Amino acid sequence: MRQRIATLDCARGIAVLGILLLNISAFGLPKAAYLNPAYKGLPSTIDAWTWALLDIFAQAKFLIMFALLFGAGLQLLLPRGKRWIQARLSWLLLFGLVHAIFFWDGDILLSYGLIGLVCWRMIREAKSSKTLLRTGAMLFTIGVAILIMFAFITHGKPGSFWLPGASDLMYERYWKLQGGLMAWSNRLDLLSSTMIAIGAQYGWELAGAMLFGAGLMRSGWLRGEFSLGHYRRLAFGLITLSMVIQIPAVILQWRLGWDYRWSGFLLQAPREIGGAMQTVGYLALCYGFWPTLAKLRISFWFTQIGRMALSNYLLQTLICTTLFYHFELFERFNRLQLLAIVPVVWLINLLFSLYWLRYFSQGPMEWLWHRLTTLAAGQPVIPSSNP
């Protein structure tokens, strides 16, 4: 049991740290730069190569990994009962709302809370792990299909979210550095767009990943109950196949100059499909080599960070918004230079986790989340660790 939990926490830690590889550009550059490296014209060779490598190895992978593990957590929480799970997800939704409006517009907690409130019942009612896996794969595929469909039903001219004008960029810089009511108002506007995207397309993929993660947990796959050889063969096969799918798409985006219709929709589909395969491949690597990895100090570090995944995710926001908005480092660095900041934030995550867990069994936000959930569910407040 301890080894299984340690493996899950290690994977959570990897996911939280990996998310920052992409989020750092969302903190340090205009919003359009997250998906479009040509948001201000053709990028430099260094920027293009940095984008390409991140797109192949990180973009969407760690978000999908986090969603898979979130779904696995929902499966583990089923014995807690309806009221406890609904209270837990409702509080996560509220945390996300506060985070998205008052701190950063790249929040994922709100969408996880919303989709989780839909998915946990589907997980509870599923008759078997195969049902969860099939349904999860189907929902994810629907999300990708909708993405492709958008390429043919949207107008040909990109909006400011993909290709902002000079005035759009100046205004975004102004309100992000200004902060206060102006920033809150703009984040609220962005949040409404995010909700539309979740309902129309992204929510399908997120729900699919959660159900698939629950299926992997119920089947025993995420409990480490399969052979090491199984995990290793699966990792090699899935990662190799994902590269075959994704690399041509990345090359084609580059050759097309990151054209809106192709790069914004059609060529994101191979990335989403290949990314899902690659994510399971990454997890399979972790499980396939866990007996060796468990002996390494770095695995212990990942595990400690993963035990405080929520606290560390929010800590990344506090660090990065302070650096880029309050110290006005926004738009001062290119993509490669931004990546140099990532290990510094990782180190702070690690030191904070090691220090905190030396004295407490849960991270501060995990403790608050658990306590509020228990109170809302009308249960006695007793110390408890995350599943």
**Spatial contact of 71 and 209, defined as CB atoms under 8 Å apart:** yes
Angle between helices 297-307 and 309-321 (to 10 degrees): 90
Count, residues in the chain: 387
At residue 1, the pLDDT reads 35
Range scoring the smallest mean pLDDT among 158-167, 175-184, 247-256: 158-167
Nearest to 5 by CA among 83, 101, 72: 72
How far apart CA 69 and CA 75 sit, in angstroms, is 10
Percentage of residues in the chain having pLDDT higher than 70: 96
At residue 100, the pLDDT reads 97
At residue 381, the pLDDT reads 59
Residue 152 has pLDDT above 70, yes or no: yes
Nearest to 358 by CA among 294, 296, 280, 304: 304
Residue range 72-87, pLDDT digits in tens: 999 999 999 999 999 9
Q: Which element (helix H / strand E) includes 177?
A: helix 166-178
125: pLDDT confidence band, cut at 50, 70 and 90?
very high
Alpha carbons within 13 A on the beta-carbon side of 241: 16
Nearest to 271 by CA among 296, 295, 253: 253
Range scoring the smallest mean pLDDT among 157-166, 326-335, 366-375: 157-166
Which residue in the block uniquely carries the two structure tokens 């810089």?
173
Residue 386 has pLDDT above 70, yes or no: no
What is the DSSP secondary structure assignment for residue 105, as one 8-state letter? T
**Spatial contact of 109 and 92, defined as CB atoms under 8 Å apart:** yes
How far apart CA 311 and CA 61 sit, in angstroms, is 21
Tokens of 386: 């995350």
**Residue scoring higher pLDDT (157 or 107):** 107
At residue 387, the pLDDT reads 41
Residue 160 has pLDDT above 90, yes or no: no
Measured CA to CA in angstroms, residue 70 lies from 51, 120, 157, 204 at distances of 27, 10, 36, 15
Give the three-class secondary structure for 252: helix
Residue 384 has pLDDT above 60, yes or no: no
- Maximum Cα–Cα distance across the chain: 60
DSSP 46-68: HHHHHHHHHHHHTTTHHHHHHHH
**What's the helix, strand, coil split of the chain in %, to 5?**
80, 0, 20
How far apart CA 238 and CA 358 sit, in angstroms, is 38
Which residue in the block uniquely carries the two structure tokens 């005035």?
167
Which residue in the block uniquely carries the two structure tokens 């490669």?
336
Residue range 187-228, pLDDT digits in tens: 999 999 899 999 999 999 999 999 999 999 999 999 999 999
How far apart CA 366 and CA 384 sit, in angstroms, is 10
Residue range 91-119, pLDDT digits in tens: 999 999 999 999 999 999 999 999 999 99
Q: In this structure, what are the phi and psi dihedrals at residue 44, rounded to the nearest 5 degrees?
A: -65, 165
Q: Which element (helix H / strand E) includes 364?
A: helix 364-376
At residue 161, the pLDDT reads 84
Measured CA to CA in angstroms, residue 222 lies from 5, 219, 243 at distances of 10, 8, 23
Residue range 306-362, pLDDT digits in tens: 999 999 999 999 999 999 999 999 999 999 999 999 999 999 999 999 999 999 999
At residue 157, the pLDDT reads 76
Residue 4 has pLDDT above 80, yes or no: no
How far apart CA 209 and CA 339 sit, in angstroms, is 27
Residue 3 has pLDDT above 60, yes or no: no
Residue range 25-73, pLDDT digits in tens: 999 999 999 989 999 999 999 999 999 999 999 999 999 999 999 999 9
Nearest to 191 by CA among 112, 96, 117: 96
At residue 380, the pLDDT reads 66
Residue range 265-287, pLDDT digits in tens: 999 999 999 999 999 999 999 99
Averaged pLDDT score across all residues of the chain: 94
Residue 383 has pLDDT above 70, yes or no: no
Percentage of residues in the chain having pLDDT higher than 90: 91
Residue 385 has pLDDT above 80, yes or no: no
**Residue scoring higher pLDDT (21 or 151):** 21
131: pLDDT confidence band, cut at 50, 70 and 90?
very high
